[in-house]
């Protein structure tokens, strides 16, 4: 991997960068659509490209269970298996340590999960996580970590961080694929001294990039912003910064100003499948009765396939009758919105006006669709 900073904003920490990876180049800041099980739900790889996706994310834990790493390896790696020839990032399974808390047991060696599908036991260690990710063949892979919940007591967060650092060293030692780039993950809950310690220790281990983990796990928004900005400020400027698992469009616009380069979140696809779409004036719940006879597009300023061809009334009808096309159109629109927003952000940074761009976007977005129509 090679990373170069192309432009920096005059009034914020926002920057435009370029990642050169084995499967192509990625301009940052970027948003990575989430393809947990080797697919971005309801969307084909060709559609992802047409929407402007540069890189996608898949999940080590879930793919390790089904279909299993050996099947993916025999297919020639995850790129060939899922018919995606662009850059890819795989997470380590660390988020499942948080999200599947009722089904796992943590030890110094790793985590034992009770399979959420069949109930059988699976042991995921730092070494195993790297082995699976190397078998999947992603361009960027992540160190295995514990993502502590919010709230966490200071002592718990401290012990959790020590375990994550121990696992990070094992991941670094186990990483042998020179074609792949390994990122470390900063933890420490909401405690700034622990975040500082995490960054210092990860830099000593040596990683090509850094994820900011342990946020968007239930903490108040203002606290999330505070910790994200502080952590980003600690990370080396010459390496990419990836804020993991957050968030809504307004979250991302604010966090780009902190100097974050990479984002992922299930929000655009999950909301789209459930009848909520994003516009310049906030979130629209297209299932609502107010749209039953509304023959305007979802967003009159949008150029996506859904907005060019279908009305709010029709898409509402699709959702209310359980038609799969409704989920596809909602997802297409939301991904187009996110990916276009990132492109506009990169342009604003390059032209030295990101602060003004962000302020205007946030003012419009907070209006709310329903309240303004």
Active site residue 250: no
Peptide bond into 67 cis (omega under 30): yes
Q: Which of 9, 91, 145, 299 is catalytic?
A: 91
In the DSSP assignment, the letter for residue 34 is B
CA-CA distance, 132 to 61, in Å (whole number)? 9
Bridge partners, residue 122, by sequence: 113
CA-CA distance, 161 to 134, in Å (whole number)? 25
Report residue 7 as tokens.
């432009």
CB 253 within 8 A of CB 358: yes
> How many Cβ atoms sit within 10 Å of the Cβ of residue 305?
16
Helix (H) or strand (E) holding 50: helix 45-51
Q: Is 265 helix (H, G, I), strand (E, B) or coil?
A: coil
Nearest Cα to 300, choosing from 312, 283, 313, 318?
A: 312
Active site residue 264: yes
Report residue 179 as tokens.
């074609």
> How many Cβ atoms sit within 10 Å of the Cβ of residue 348?
22
Q: Which of 139, 145, 261, 264 is catalytic?
A: 264
Which of the residues are catalytic? 91, 264
């Amino acid at each position: 991997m090679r990373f170069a900073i192309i432009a920096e904003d005059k009034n914020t920490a926002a920057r435009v960068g370029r990642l050169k990876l084995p499967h192509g180049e990625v301009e940052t800041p970027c948003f990575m659509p989430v393809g947990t099980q080797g697919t971005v739900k309801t969307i084909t790889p060709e559609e992802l490209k047409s929407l402007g996706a540069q890189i996608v994310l898949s999940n080590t834990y879930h793919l390790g269970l089904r279909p299993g790493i050996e099947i993916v390896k025999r297919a020639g790696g995850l790129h060939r298996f899922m018919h995606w020839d662009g850059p890819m990032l795989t997470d380590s399974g660390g988020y499942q340590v948080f999200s599947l808390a009722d089904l796992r047991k943590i030890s110094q060696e790793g985590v034992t999960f009770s399979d959420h599908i069949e109930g059988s036991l699976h042991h995921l260690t730092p070494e195993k996580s790297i082995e699976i990710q190397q078998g999947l063949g992603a361009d960027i892979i992540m160190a295995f970590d514990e993502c502590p919940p919010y709230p966490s007591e200071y002592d718990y967060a401290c012990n959790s961080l020590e375990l994550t650092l121990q696992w990070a060293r094992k991941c670094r030692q186990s990483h042998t694929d020179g074609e792949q780039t390994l990122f470390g993950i900063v933890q420490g809950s909401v405690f700034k001294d622990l975040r500082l310690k995490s960054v210092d220790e990860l830099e000593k281990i040596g990683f090509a990039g850094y994820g900011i983990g342990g946020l968007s796990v239930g903490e108040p928004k203002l606290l999330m912003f505070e910790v994200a900005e502080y952590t980003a400020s600690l990370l080396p400027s010459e390496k990419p910064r990836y804020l993991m698992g957050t968030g809504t469009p307004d979250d991302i616009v604010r966090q780009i100003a902190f100097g974050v380069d990479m984002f992922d979140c299930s929000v655009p696809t999950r909301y789209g499948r459930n009848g909520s779409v994003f516009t310049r004036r906030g979130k629209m719940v297209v299932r609502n009765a107010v749209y039953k006879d509304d023959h305007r597009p979802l967003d009159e300023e949008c150029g996506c396939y859904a907005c060019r061809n279908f009305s709010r009334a029709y898409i509402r009808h699709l959702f209310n009758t359980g038609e799969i096309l409704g989920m596809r159109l909602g997802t297409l629109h939301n991904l187009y919105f996110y990916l276009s927003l990132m492109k506009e952000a990169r342009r604003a940074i390059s032209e030295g006006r990101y602060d003004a761009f962000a302020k205007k976007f946030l003012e419009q977005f907070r209006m709310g669709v329903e309240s303004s129509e």
